Amino acid sequence: MNTTRLQETINLCHYNFDDKVLYINNVNNRLLVENTANKMIENGIIDKYITVDEFSESALDYFNLSKNILGKGYYYSIAELVSIYLTETTYLLHFSSDTMPALEVQKNWLSSGIEVLNANKDVKVFNLAWNHDYKAAKEESEYEDSTCYYGYGFSDQMYLIRTADFKQRIYEYYDKASERYPRHGGESFEKKVDSWMRQHNFLRATFKHSSYIHNNFSKFKLINNIAVRVNKPNLFLSIKK
């Protein structure tokens, strides 16, 4: 939030969003983070921010979930669940705090993703390829066309979804293949979505022509020669259609 990262992420989407929302979660100094977020609103970088814990209980009730059900996954999942619970636009684009489009991303990637979701109701999520690993995306796919690889899988690092699909109570499914997610994440949002998709033969579409960059970083790390403190914000971009 003290760098240009959020603005760069939004710019690399090449899209005029209906809403640009920063979800603030798991922070030590809430007042400090909110003051910074208010400056970002004044500067037109985001439209608003949401403090996740204000809506966490309502979101859990809505989805028939609880902290006990999510276990360790609560920490990793509650921002995503609250964002889906609150979003009213047709589409929702999410970036975790350590993820952003690659600098050379094609300008039409997001409009292409919307077209893909519009064309096939069995495709529930669209994402860029991860860390330029197009080979892995191809190997994990069931089939491909000129735009995307289509296969099973889901990641909370970034996703474009139809909000209505994910507003359903879909987080109760289990699939053995979803046990591949890290154990430290518990019954996380991404694991539960992956199970739901596999149980119903729903697919994700991975864009063949551009990538996002995911870089795990600790609380303090040098990024682009700027020392930043990471407070786990998540960026959610809303799209009406």
The runs of H, that is alpha helices, within the chain are 5-11, 30-42, 56-62, 67-70, 73-86, 109-119, 134-139, 163-166, 189-199
What are φ and ψ of residue 214, in 5° steps?
A: -115, 125
CATH number at residue 185: 3.90.550
Rounded mean pLDDT, 127-146: 97
Residue 232 has pLDDT above 80, yes or no: no
| Cα 182 from Cα 191, distance rounded (Å) | 9
Residue 23 — pLDDT band, cuts 50, 70, 90? Answer: very high
What integer pLDDT is reported at residue 237 of this predicted model? 75
pLDDT > 90? residue 212 = yes
Query: What per-residue confidence (pLDDT) applies to 225?
Result: 33
Residue 1 has pLDDT above 60, yes or no: yes
What percentage of residues in the chain have a pLDDT greater than 70? Answer: 92
Q: What pLDDT was estimated at residue 64?
A: 97
Domain residues for the domain of 233 are: 5-239
Instruction: Check residue 220 and give its pLDDT.
Output: 43
pLDDT at 234 over 80: no
Higher pLDDT, 32 or 218: 32
d(CA 238, CA 92): 5
Largest CA distance in the chain: 48
Q: How far apart are CA 13 and CA 127, in angstroms?
A: 12
| CA end-to-end distance (rounded Å), the chain | 29
| Number of independent structural domains in the chain | 1
Contact 187/69 with Cβ under 8 angstroms? yes
Q: What distance in Å separates the CA atoms of residue 212 and residue 42, rounded to the nearest whole number?
A: 28
pLDDT, tens only, 165-177? 999 999 999 999 9
Burial of 236 (0-12, 13-18, 19+ CB in 10 A): buried
Q: Express each pLDDT in 57-95 by its tens digit.
A: 999 999 999 999 999 999 989 999 999 999 999 999 999
**Is pLDDT above 80 for 217?**
no
Three-class secondary structure of residue 101 per DSSP: strand
Sequence-ordered alpha helix ranges (H) in 87-159 = 109-119, 134-139
Residue type (1 letter), 187:
E
